[in-house]
Amino acid sequence: MAFLKTQERTKERFSLLLLDLEEYYFEQHTAYHVTSPSIKENKVRGSFKVCSRSIIFDPDGLAEPIIKIPLRDCQRIEFVEKENNPFYEPRPPAITVSCEQVIFIKESNIIAPYRNERGSKKLTFELEGWSKTEDVVQTLLQLHRASCLDKLGDQTAMSVAERPHMECPVEMVMPLVCNPGHVCVTNENLYFQPLNGHPHVIQIKLNEVRRIYKRRHGLRPLGLEVFCSENNLCSDIYLKFYCPADRDEIYYYIATFLENHIKEHTAESYMLQWQRGHLSNYEYLLHLNNLADRSCNDLSQYPVFPWVIADYTSTQLDLANPDTFRDLSKPIGALNQERLDRLLTRYGGMPEPRFIYGSHYSSPGYVLFYLVRVAPEHMLCLQNGRFDHADRMFNSISETWKNCLEGATDFKELIPEFYRNDSSFLENRLSLDLGRKQNGTLVGDVLLPPWASDASDFLKKHQLALESQYVSEHLHDWIDLVFGFKQRGSEAVEAHNVFHPLTYEGGMDCDSIEDTDQRIAMLTQILEFGQTPKQLFTSPHPQRITPRLQSLTRSSSANSAVGELSPVSLCEDSSFEDLTEESRKMAWANMGTLKRISSHKIHKEAVTGIAVTRDGASVFSTSQDSTLKMFSKELKEFQRSVSFSNMVPSWIFPSVFHHALSSCLMLADGKTVLCSSWDNNVYFYSIPYGRRQDTLMGHDDAVSEMCWFDDRLYTASWDSTVKVWQCSSKKQPSNKKNTFELLAELEHDAGVNTVSLNPAGTLLASGCKDGTVTIWDTSSYRALQQVHCHAGTIHHAAFSPDSRHVLSVGDDCCMKVIDVQTGMMISSVKAEEEQRCFCWDGSSVLCGGRSGDLLLWDLLSNTVISRIPAHSGAVTAMWMNELCSTVITGGEDKQIMFWSFTLQNKSTTKTPMPVVIGRNLLTEQRTMGNSPSVCVS
C-alpha cells in the first residue's frame, strides 16, 4: 500500500505507532529488565526508551513482549543507588517504577490487540551505562510532572557536510504519528535529522526532486511534502513546520531546482489536460487530491476516490449499462432518498451552524477500515490497542456498499487502492486474528462481488469502470461536490452536501488552544472527523470531452470557468467557540419588557442617525431631509435645526434633488457633532457656537457612514472607498479651520454602505453593496478577511463587544455572524423581513426591520424572543445605552422614539458595556475613553 512504504526505512519491532497522539520519543538506552527480585536475578536485555508520555522497554528477544508503562499511571519513579555487598557481586544502580497499569504489545512477536494488566506493579530496570541512570531518572520525573512536551525547537543542532542554506526545527509526518527533528537544506541536499535517532538521518538530493507541495496540517499552512518520483502516491518526506514563513522559504528554495514547477502544478492546467484526454480519470483525481492537500502521510486527509459501481450482486459486470453505476451528481448520503429524508428532517430543526451529515466521507477510521489487513498496527494505534468488532470489519464489498447506502452514519467514499494493482488489502496474507463474527466465521479475506473471480480481477474491472464512458461523462459532477463549487455555501445546501463545520478549512486551530488537555482533545477530534478537501474550483467544473460528446463540446476550453486555487491564509488562527453560553449571560441579553416612553416627529423625512451628548441632556439626529436637529430631553421638543446642504429641501420642491445627511456621531469633547452627507462631505457642527465649524470634502460620491477613534476619522463612501483621516487634536480658535491628513484609502469592489470599529479601535469592518464584509487592521490598513456573505446590499455591520465576531444584516433578510480570526461564517439567520439596523451583545440582537417592529433575537437558538411594534415605517437608526436601560430609535416615519427596558438576572459582577451602534450611527463611548455613560430618559 502507498503509505506503508514510509515504514520500510526501519525493520525494528518498535514503531512510533506505539506512542499516543502528540507523544514524542526522545532517547533510548541499552538496559535490563529485572524480572525476579531474588538474589539470583533473571534479566531480560533490551532497549529502554524514554518518551514524553510513557516508558517503553523493547526486549532483544522476539518472544518477549514490548512493555509500555504510561507515565500517567506511574505512582513513583525512583533511583536505587549502587549496592556494595562483600559477600555478593556489586548490584548496579537501578530505576524502579511503581505503576497501576502495564501494557504488553506484540507478545510472541504476533501483531494482535494489546494486553493491559491493571493493578499495583513494580518494575526494575538497570542501564548498561551506570553513570547515566540518575540522569535518566531525573528526566523521567520531569516528564511525569509535565505530562506534555513543549516544542523541541532548540534542543539539538544538526551538522551536515555542506554549508546549509537554511536550518529549522520540524516534525516528520507519518500516518498517525509525527517525529520531531531538524531540517537542513544545502545547495545539494535536504536532510532530516530526528532528535531521537529513529529513523536515521534522511537525505534527499535536490536534483532528484520531481514534485513539491505545500500542505495544511492540523488546519494550518505548516506542511511541506517532497516527491522524488513522478507517479508515486507516497512522498519521500512530509515535514511539518512550526512557522509558515520557514515552510515557505524552503518551499521556494527547493522549487528553484524544479523546472517549471510553479507553472505546471495548477488545477486549471490539470483540468485542461484531463478534458482533452491527456490524463486518465485516475491520474486526474490523484492530482486534484494532491492540490487539495490530500496526502497518504496524513490519514485525516487521505486521498479520496468515489464509489463508481452500484452493482455488486450480478454475475456479469455490464459497463455499457448506466444502471451499473452510482449517481455521481449526489453525495453518498443522498443516494438513498428514504435515509436522506430523515437526515433533512433533522437538519431542518437544527440550530446554526447546521449540517446534514454528522460523519464524513473520509477519515482515518475509514481509511484503516479498508487497509486493516495490511496496516494492522495503525489500526491498533488508532483504536487504543484493539481491532474493531468482527462484524464491523471490512468483510464484504457488497455489504460495505449496502451500509453506505442505508447506514445512519456511514457516508464513506473509497481510497485510491481500489483503483490500483495491489490487491493485498483485500486479502489476509498476514493471517491476522481479526476476530470471529456472530455467525461463527473468522474474519479472513474480503468477500468479493460475483462478477469478480479473484481480488486482482476485481481491481482490474474496478479500474475499467473508473475509466468508462459513463464515469468520464459524469465525473465532473462528483468533483463539484468534493473539490468544487458545491462543496460549500448555498450550492452545497442545495446539493445536500453539508458536513459538520469542524471538517471544513478554518473550523479550528489547535495551536490557539493553550490548555494541553483541550488541545489534545481537539486534535483527536480532527483525527476522528477527517477533513473536507481544500476547495479548488468555485464555479461548475466542465465536462470531459469524450468521443460521444466530441460533436457537442468545443475542442477549446477557453469558455470553461474554473476558479483559482484557494490561497491558504498565513493567519489561520481560530477559536471555534461560536456564540457561547458565557456570552448568553450578558445583562441586556436578558432584556425583559421594552416600554415606549415617548415619540416625537421632528423631521420631514427618514431619520438616519442618532447621537447623544455626554450629559444626556440633548439628542442629535440626522435625516434624509438634510437637517441636523437637537432635541431637548427636559423640554421634550427640538431646539435647533441646521441644514448643511445648499440644495433646496425636497418637501418644498419635491422634484428638486437634495443631499441627505446619512449619519452623525458625537466626538469625545462632547462639543462637536459630525454629520456625513450624500453631497460627498463631512460636516463638523459646534454645539457651543451653534454653527458649522468645518467641512471635510473627501469623497467622489456620497459619504454613507463614519466612525471615530483617537483623533482618527474613518469615512465610508459609495465611491467604493473607506478613507482614514488624522484630525488635528489641538484646540483651534473659533475662526480657524481643522486640519485633516489623509492616512489611508481602503479600496473596495463596490460602494461601501456601512463601517464600524471594534471597541479597541484595532479592527475595522466595512460592508458593501455587493454583499461583501471586509475586516481591516487599522495599524497596517491590511485586509484580514473578506467574506461575501449576503446576496445584496449590506445595511449594517458591527463587531461583538469581545471583537471576535462581526454581525451583518442585508437586504437579503439575513443576519450573518463571521468569525474575525478565520473569516468563517459561523451563524446565519433568515428573518421574515429585511433588517435595517441593530445593537448586539455577542449573543442577542435587538434589531429594527422594514415593517417598523423591533425584534429581539437569540442567535444561539435562531429564534425571536420578542417582537415590539414601533414605527409605522422601517426602523433606520438605533442608539442604546445599557447603563441607563435606554433605547432610542428613528424610522422612515420621520419619528424618534424613546424606550426603556428592564433587565432580568442581571449580573452584579459584569462590567457595563455601553452600546451605540446602528445603521448610520456609531458608538459615542468609543470616543470618550473610560468616561461613564449618562441616561437620557
pLDDT of residue 933: 28
Q: What is the mean pLDDT of residues 139-168?
A: 59
Q: Are residues 141 and 170 in the same domain?
A: no
> Does residue 566 sit within a domain?
no
DSSP 417: G
CA distance 392 to 410: 12
Choose the final residue of a domain: 261, 291, 321.
291
The beta-strand segments (E) located in 789-926 are 794-799, 805-810, 814-819, 825-830, 835-840, 844-849, 854-858, 863-868, 875-881, 886-891, 895-903
Q: Are residues 229 and 100 in the same domain?
A: no
Radius of gyration of the chain (CA): 34
Q: Are residues 268 and 310 in the same domain?
A: no
> Does residue 551 sit within a domain?
no
Choose the final residue of a domain: 275, 291, 307.
291
Q: Are residues 312 and 458 in the same domain?
A: yes
- Binned at pLDDT 50, 70 and 90, residue 647 comes out as very low
Q: Are residues 429 and 454 in the same domain?
A: yes
> Does residue 541 sit within a domain?
no
- Global pTM? 0.55
> Does residue 569 sit within a domain?
no
> Does residue 562 sit within a domain?
no
- Binned at pLDDT 50, 70 and 90, residue 38 comes out as low
Strand order through the sheet with 835-840: 835-840, 844-849, 854-858, 863-868
For the ranges 133-142, 360-369, 535-544, the one whose mean pLDDT is highest? 360-369
Tens-place pLDDT, residues 915-925: 333 333 333 33
Which residue range is the domain that position 796 belongs to? 581-927
Tens-place pLDDT, residues 378-415: 999 888 899 999 999 999 999 999 999 999 999 999 99
Q: Which three cell numbers stand for residue 710?
A: 483617537
- CATH assignment at residue 751: 2.130.10.10
Q: Are residues 283 and 317 in the same domain?
A: no
CA distance 542 to 275: 8
For the ranges 133-147, 627-641, 655-669, 748-762, the one whose mean pLDDT is highest? 748-762
**Does residue 781 have a pLDDT over 90?**
yes
Q: Are residues 495 and 511 in the same domain?
A: yes
Q: Are residues 434 and 309 in the same domain?
A: yes
> Does residue 18 sit within a domain?
no
> How many domains does the chain divide into?
4
> Does residue 459 sit within a domain?
yes
CA distance 665 to 654: 28
Q: What is the mean pLDDT of residues 35-51?
A: 80
Choose the final residue of a domain: 111, 146, 181.
146
Residues 6 or more apart in contact with residue 302 via CB below 8 angstroms:
3, 294, 295, 296, 362, 364, 367, 415
- Binned at pLDDT 50, 70 and 90, residue 907 comes out as very low
Q: Are residues 211 and 333 in the same domain?
A: no
> Does residue 10 sit within a domain?
no
Q: Are residues 479 and 361 in the same domain?
A: yes
CA dihedral 373, 374, 378, 380 (to 10 degrees): 30
CA distance 204 to 201: 10
Q: Are residues 772 and 869 in the same domain?
A: yes
- Of 341-350, 562-571, 663-672, which range is least confident? 562-571
- CATH assignment at residue 460: 1.10.1540.10
Q: Is 37 left (phi over 0), alpha (psi -120 to 50) or beta?
A: alpha
Mean pLDDT computed over every residue of the chain: 81
Q: Are residues 207 and 354 in the same domain?
A: no
- CATH assignment at residue 196: 2.30.29.30
**Does residue 575 have a pLDDT over 50?**
no
Question: How many residues does the structure list for the chain?
Answer: 937
| Phi, psi of 70, deg, nearest 5 | -60, 130
